[in-house]
Amino acid sequence: MDFNFKYVIIGGGSAGSVIANRLSENPNHSVCLIEAGPRDSLPQIKMPLAASSLFKNKKYGWCDESVPQSKLLNRTINSPRGKTLGGSSSINGMVYIRGQQKDYNAWLDGKFGWDYHSLLPYFISLENNQDLADQYHGNFGPLWVETFKGSLPASNLFMQACANYGLPHNQDFNGENQEGYGLYQTNIKNGQRFSAADAFLRPIHERPNLTILTNAHVNKLIIHKGTAVGVEITHKKTNQVITSNKDIILSAGAFNSPKILMLSGIGNYEELEKHSITGVRDLPGVGKNLKDHLTVNLSVLLKDHHQTFKEKMSFFSTLKELSMYLFSKKGLYTYPAADVGVFFKSSSDKERPDAQVHFAPGAGKYHKNGKMSPESGITASVTILRPKSSGSVAIASANPKDAPLIDPNYLNADEDLLDLRNAVKITREILSSSPIKEEMIREILPGEDIQTDSALDQFIQQTGLSVYHPVGTCKMGFDEMSVVDNYLKVWGINNLRVADLSIAPDIISGNTNALGNVIGAKCADAILKAN
Please report which confidence band the pLDDT of residue 368 belongs to, taking 50, 70 and 90 as the band edges: very low
pLDDT in tens, 430-440: 999 999 999 99
pTM of the model: 0.97
Q: Tell whether 200 is covered by a domain.
A: yes
Kindly state whether residue 208 falls inside one of the protein's structural domains.
Answer: yes
Please state the domain count of the chain: 1
Q: What is the DSSP letter of 67?
A: P
* Torsional sign, CA 41, 44, 49, 55: negative
Domain with 237, as residue range(s), is 1-56+82-143+190-289+470-531
Q: In this predicted structure, which of 140-144, 278-282, 300-304, 416-420 has the lowest mean pLDDT?
A: 300-304
CA distance 415 to 410: 11
Q: What is the pLDDT of residue 365?
A: 67
Catalytic residues: 469
Q: How confident is the model at residue 369 (pLDDT cuts 50, 70, 90)?
A: very low
pLDDT digits (tens, 9 = 90+) for 192-202: 999 999 999 99
Pairing outcome for strands 372-375 and 377-384: unpaired
What pLDDT is recorded for position 370?
45
**Range list of H helices, 212-314:** 253-263, 269-273
H or E stretch covering 243: strand 238-250
Average pLDDT, whole number, for the chain? 96
Rounded CA-CA distance 3/233 in Å is: 11
The answer to the question of residue 460 being in a domain is no
Domain-embedded: residue 478: yes
Residue 222 lies in a domain: yes
Q: Is residue 71 part of a domain?
A: no
The mean pLDDT of 417-446, rounded to a whole number, is 96
Residue 496 falls inside a structural domain: yes
Query: CA 291, CA 103: separation in Å to the nearest integer?
Result: 14
Q: What is the pLDDT of residue 312?
A: 83
With bands split at pLDDT 50, 70 and 90, how would you rate the model's confidence at 126? very high
DSSP element (H, E) containing 21? helix 16-23
**Share above pLDDT 90 across residues of the chain, in percent, rounded to a whole number:** 92
- Sign for the pseudo-dihedral over CA of 87, 92, 94, 100: negative
CATH of the domain at 112: 3.50.50.60
Task: Answer whether 453's CB lies under 8 Å from 481's CB.
Answer: no
* Backbone phi, psi, residue 363, to 5°: -155, 165
Strand segments (E) across 338-489: 340-344, 355-360, 363-366, 372-375, 377-384, 392-394, 405-407, 440-445, 465-466
Domain for residue 488, yes or no?
yes
